[in-house]
Amino acid sequence: MKLLWLHLLVCIFGSAPLALCTVENPWQERHHRVKRGWIWKEMATPEGQTRFPFRIGTLRSDKPNGKYVLQGEFADTYFKVDEVSGDVHGWETLDREKKSTYNLTALLVDKTTMKTLEPPETFIIRVIDINDNAPIFKQESYNVSVPEMSKHGTLVTVINAEDADDPTMSGNAIVKYTIIHGQEKFYINEDTGQIYTAVSNLDREEQANYEIIVQAKDSPGQNGGLSSTATVTIHLKDINDNFPMFTENQFTFNVSEDRRVGDVIGKLLVIDIDEPQNRNTKYSFLKQMYEEWFHIKPNQETNEGLLILKKPLNFEGDHNKFKMTVDATDYSINVGAARPDKRKSLTEVVVNVLDVDEPPEFTQPYYLFPFKENKKDIFPGTVSAKDPDKEKRSVKYSLKPERDDVIITKEGTIHIKKPFDREESAWLNLTVIAEEIGSPTNKASSAVVYLQVQDENDNAPELTYPYVPRVCENVANEHVILNISATDKDEPFPGMKFTFSSAGHENNFTVQDNRDNTASIKVKNGVFDPNEAKFYYLPIIIADNGKPPLTSTNTLTITVCKCNEKGEFTYCEEAGKLAAVSASTIVIVLVSILLILLAVILAVLFIRRMQTKSPLILGKNPAEIHEQLVTYDEEGGGEMDTNSYDVSVLNSVRRNVVMPRYEVDPGPTLYAQVQKPSRTGDMFSVIEAKKDEADNDGEELPYDTLHIFGYEGSESNVESLSSLESGSSDSEIDYDVLNEWGPRFKMLADMYGLEHLEEFAY
């Protein structure tokens, strides 16, 4: 009812033919007449009516016989009009907070024709607010925080409630805040909702969380008024305002002596009631007596002090008990907020060193024992290990890996049982294991023994390369044909020297020692006649200056070559080349040479046998000669190998016997009927002739059964069939042709050529 004063009567006189008047409420009506047309009102009605129908207003028109009709929002549902009186009634409870105005249209129609008597006009039904909404907090509960020990009046947070009612309506939406629970420590600004601390000594460690209840209420100063509450949980944020305190007055640690440096041997527990991020305990020794043995490191997570070993402990040593005072404090403390009486905490730390069974200890971390090569049953050195414990057990030694050439005695002495060769391996590195005899723990320790094999001069120097020197046949005297050097397998030493000298004095070459471990081979007597010698053998003695000095004799084979005017080699004998070809090639070549040689020799001997019968001219048992021939076959010495067969035998043939001219034997022998090759004929024709002879002769052995001939032994009861035995003492054949056959037949040529007999006997 008190709202009625708002219902002003307002008449609007517009230029339109229709006079518009707002007005009228059910209780205080004013009648306005307009000249014609509608008499209608903007209508207003309070929300929240629950008795229906309730009158809202009246439509009026001065046209008679009209009938009122309502159209528009919620016409005929919420709002209905009495068609005769024009009264508008509400039939539903209205809620201003949902919809505060309704737009409607009023019509006046003829009762019978239903024609509109007035033009339709719109009007508004306005819903009038009543205080039917309490202020509502945005959250039911708030979770806020403020640092502990904040000053009085520190803003904690702001909370607000909203009221859905019409703020223009008489305080319906004006909110005031009050703390209805927990107002001892906090207060709130009643208009703004800002919450402040009311004290200065909020201590998280005492109480970390506070819960206050805030009420928001509208319609201040009036009776009634609607309210709601919210819970505000205030959490105190930690600051570092508490010092750490040791949990014990004394910490005792029993530590075995074999703990390693860096090990944590104990933990010092402290309590810091601040949150973990505000625990920064620092530990220190009050007196720095044992700082070389220990240091204390704070554990970053648990804040406890880790007692760490810095120096090895020894139960048998001077220190087997430590007593020290440790303090703990926190340098990052918020001094203003902390309690000054608890600045520092002290504790006593006792470390008892315990004895353990330790492995034996070697006197040295490793041992180096040199010993001479080539010697056996020597004792280069002794290792030693001792039991460090008070039991002082005796120690046994073993070598790893085990060997049969080196052993270790009970006393730890190394025994070299077999000679070593330094040139094979200069070091022998072994591990010695020491174990305590009778130890229950069987602890072992090890040390490395380096056995160094020392050098002896047991290798003579030798030529660095297999030199193949050559010289021109017309070379000048003093010409250096080669520089040679030497190597020695023994260990080089400072001042190591090789000296070179010629073995014989009767040489065509000089060996000139250059005194820098090289030597030059020089020509002594120049101009070599290739007819005299194609190869010269120069024995060179190389000596080292070790103790004792060693020498070796190395023979150089110097080849005489034909040269052009510029001194370039144009033709050399093949000795050097042969040496270069592979062994298999040499064997093939030598076997073929041998076969040819045998064929030639046989042919020659057959001819001789034909001519004279003097079987003893060779001065040797023919079987012996056969053997030598066969040996030659197997060993393949080559044409330079004058030792593999008995050259003297062949030479003696030439030397001891007068060489008769070829004569046709007048005697009627089997062979005599065949024409003999002439003195100038070649070997080929001789062989051909003999082959023909043999082919036509059924009684003679065929020529190709050389092996049967070769294997015939001296013990045979049968008289020898060897053609050697029947060899003639002489031949009319000119063997000089052998010289023209090339180098392979050189030896034969030398043997049978008349000119070279003396030379061959050197």
Ligand X SMILES: *[C@@H]1O[C@H](CO)[C@@H](O)[C@H](O)[C@H]1NC(C)=O
Q: Which residues contact 389 (CB under 8 A, 6 or more apart)?
A: 316, 355, 357, 358
CA gap 421, 428 in Å, rounded? 11
Other CB atoms within 10 A of residue 199 CB: 12
Say whether residue 758 binds ligand X (CB under 6 A).
no
As measured in angstroms, the least distance from the Cβ of 582 to ligand X is 31
Other CB atoms within 10 A of residue 203 CB: 13
As measured in angstroms, the least distance from the Cβ of 2 to ligand X is 45
Among 442, 525, 621, 678, binds ligand X (CB under 6 A): 525
- Residue in the block written with tokens 């080539």: 374
Best CA proximity match to 260, nearest among 190, 196, 314 = 314
Say whether residue 242 binds Ca ion (CB under 5 A).
yes
As measured in angstroms, the least distance from the Cβ of 316 to Ca ion is 46
Give CA separation, 334 vs 202, 212, 298, 341, 397, in Å: 15, 28, 20, 14, 65
- The number of residues that bind ligand X (CB under 6 A) is 15
512 binding partner (options ligand X, Ca ion, none; Cβ < 5 to 8 Å by kind): none
Contact 535, 497 (CB under 8 A): no
Contact 610, 667 (CB under 8 A): no
Among 170, 454, 487, 508, binds ligand X (CB under 6 A): 508
Among 32, 55, 185, 235, binds ligand X (CB under 6 A): 235
What does the chain come to in residues? Answer: 762
- Mind giving me the DSSP string for 370-399? EEETT--SEEEEE--EE--STT---EEEEE
Best CA proximity match to 475, nearest among 538, 573, 569 = 569
Say whether residue 533 binds ligand X (CB under 6 A).
yes
Best CA proximity match to 169, nearest among 227, 224, 96 = 96
Say whether residue 250 binds ligand X (CB under 6 A).
no
Closer to ligand X by Cβ: residue 175 or 475: 475
Environment class of 145 (CB within 10 Å of its CB; exposed 0-12, middle 13-18, buried 19+)? middle
Among 129, 165, 218, 241, binds Ca ion (CB under 5 A): 241
228 binding partner (options ligand X, Ca ion, none; Cβ < 5 to 8 Å by kind): none
Say whether residue 256 binds ligand X (CB under 6 A).
no
Stretch that binds ligand X, among 256-264, 501-509, 592-600, 691-699 (CB under 6 A): 501-509
Environment class of 57 (CB within 10 Å of its CB; exposed 0-12, middle 13-18, buried 19+)? buried
241 binding partner (options Ca ion, ligand X, none; Cβ < 5 to 8 Å by kind): Ca ion
- Mind giving me the DSSP string for 115-177? -EEEEEEEEEEEEEP-S----EESSSEEEEEEETTPPTT-EEEE--EE--S-TTSTTTT--EE
Positions in 349-388 near ligand X (CB under 6 A): 352
Stretch that binds ligand X, among 128-136, 301-309, 502-510, 593-601 (CB under 6 A): 502-510
DSSP designation for 75: B
As measured in angstroms, the least distance from the Cβ of 425 to ligand X is 7
Stretch that binds ligand X, among 88-96, 275-283, 500-508, 677-685 (CB under 6 A): 500-508
Say whether residue 473 binds Ca ion (CB under 5 A).
no
Report the phi/psi class of residue 171: left, alpha or beta, with left for phi > 0 and alpha for psi in -120 to 50: left
Say whether residue 140 binds ligand X (CB under 6 A).
no
Say whether residue 252 binds ligand X (CB under 6 A).
yes
Positions in 481-540 near Ca ion (CB under 5 A): none
Closer to ligand X by Cβ: residue 251 or 467: 251
Closer to ligand X by Cβ: residue 269 or 672: 269
Say whether residue 274 binds Ca ion (CB under 5 A).
yes
Among 49, 100, 145, 520, binds ligand X (CB under 6 A): 145
CA gap 607, 724 in Å, rounded? 10
- What the block records as the tokens of 9 is 């009567």
Say whether residue 532 binds ligand X (CB under 6 A).
yes
678 binding partner (options Ca ion, ligand X, none; Cβ < 5 to 8 Å by kind): none
240 binding partner (options Ca ion, ligand X, none; Cβ < 5 to 8 Å by kind): Ca ion
Site string for ligand X, 441-480 (x = CB under 6 A): ---------x------------------------------
608 binding partner (options Ca ion, ligand X, none; Cβ < 5 to 8 Å by kind): none
Site string for ligand X, 167-206 (x = CB under 6 A): ----------------------------------------
Site string for Ca ion, 193-212 (x = CB under 5 A): -----------x--------
Contact 604, 733 (CB under 8 A): yes
As measured in angstroms, the least distance from the Cβ of 643 to ligand X is 18
Q: Which residues contact 320 (CB under 8 A, 6 or more apart)?
A: 257, 313, 314, 352, 353
Say whether residue 424 binds ligand X (CB under 6 A).
no
Among 427, 547, 582, 742, binds ligand X (CB under 6 A): 427
439 binding partner (options Ca ion, ligand X, none; Cβ < 5 to 8 Å by kind): none
238 binding partner (options Ca ion, ligand X, none; Cβ < 5 to 8 Å by kind): Ca ion
Say whether residue 330 binds Ca ion (CB under 5 A).
no
Closer to ligand X by Cβ: residue 351 or 610: 351
Q: Which residues contact 698 (CB under 8 A, 6 or more apart)?
A: none
Contact 189, 158 (CB under 8 A): no
Among 61, 133, 219, 240, binds Ca ion (CB under 5 A): 240
As measured in angstroms, the least distance from the Cβ of 428 to ligand X is 7
Contact 523, 471 (CB under 8 A): yes
Among 65, 101, 103, 143, binds ligand X (CB under 6 A): 143
Minimal CB distance residue for Ca ion: 274
532 binding partner (options Ca ion, ligand X, none; Cβ < 5 to 8 Å by kind): ligand X
Closer to ligand X by Cβ: residue 207 or 429: 429
Contact 297, 306 (CB under 8 A): yes
| Helices (H) then strands (E): counts for the chain | 9, 47
Best CA proximity match to 130, nearest among 104, 160, 161, 163 = 163
Give CA separation, 263 vs 303, 310, 664, in Å: 18, 8, 117
Closer to Ca ion by Cβ: residue 238 or 646: 238
CA gap 469, 487 in Å, rounded? 19
Say whether residue 506 binds ligand X (CB under 6 A).
yes
252 binding partner (options ligand X, Ca ion, none; Cβ < 5 to 8 Å by kind): ligand X
Could you tell me how far CA 142 lies from the centroid of its own chain?
Answer: 58
Beta bridge partners of 414: 381, 408
571 binding partner (options ligand X, Ca ion, none; Cβ < 5 to 8 Å by kind): none
Site string for Ca ion, 219-238 (x = CB under 5 A): -------------------x
Say whether residue 642 binds ligand X (CB under 6 A).
no
As measured in angstroms, the least distance from the Cβ of 172 to ligand X is 33
Site string for Ca ion, 376-405 (x = CB under 5 A): ------------------------------
Stretch that binds ligand X, among 159-167, 289-297, 322-330, 506-514 (CB under 6 A): 506-514
- Positive or negative torsion for Cα 748, 749, 754, 758: negative
Beta bridge partners of 58: 87
Helices 622-635 and 583-611, axial angle in degrees (round to 10): 160
Footprint on this chain of Ca ion (rule: CB under 5 A)? 204, 238, 240-242, 274, 278
Binding site for ligand X (CB under 6 A): 143, 145, 235, 252, 254, 352, 427, 429, 450, 506-508, 525, 532-533
